[in-house]
Amino acid sequence: MSNKEATDAANEKFKSGKTHAAEAAADLKEAATAKLNHLRDTLNERAGEYRERATQVWADTTGRARTLTEDGEEYIRENPLQAVGIALAAGFILGVILRR
């Protein structure tokens, strides 16, 4: 094999390797893009589920708070002296705790 033939063969192998590497890079890019899109879809789906669940929990919590407020107001209307006594006792206990 002559020097020219060896050089030509080396150039062909280099071009072939370069083409193969470019194809592999394109395939890798395509696979990474597909995986990224799948991951993004999964994350958006989960975020929607969490958002929905948080909305449900918020609605339940506000409903319970509203019920407790109404029950407290009703208790105060029915037992005003006891309510004042409880408030005074709670204030006294908090005052003692906060002084320390």
Q: How far apart are CA 34 and CA 19, in angstroms?
A: 23
CA angle 3, 6, 11 (to 5 degrees): 125
Residue 14: which domain range? 3-73
In a domain, 91, yes or no: no
The answer to whether position 61 is within a domain reads yes
> Residue 13 falls within a domain, yes or no?
yes
Distance CA 51, CA 37 (A): 21
The model's pTM: 0.52
pLDDT of residue 16 exceeding 90: no
Tell me whether residue 30 is in a domain: yes
Tell me, yes or no, whether 55 lies in a domain.
Answer: yes
Q: To 10 degrees, what angle do helices 3-78 and 80-99 make?
A: 130
As a whole number of angstroms, the distance between CA 51 and CA 40 comes to: 16
Please indicate, yes or no, if residue 67 is contained in any of the structural domains: yes
User: How would you class 61 by CB atoms within 10 Å of its CB: exposed for 0-12, middle for 13-18, buried for 19 or more?
Assistant: exposed
For 1, which DSSP code? -
Spatial separation of the C-alpha atoms in residues 86 and 94, rounded to whole Å: 12
Does some domain include residue 8?
yes
Q: At 1, is the pLDDT very low, low, confident or very high (cuts 50, 70, 90)? A: low
Would you place residue 51 in the very low, low, confident or very high pLDDT band (cuts 50, 70, 90)? very high
Domain total of the chain: 1
Q: 95 lies in a domain?
A: no
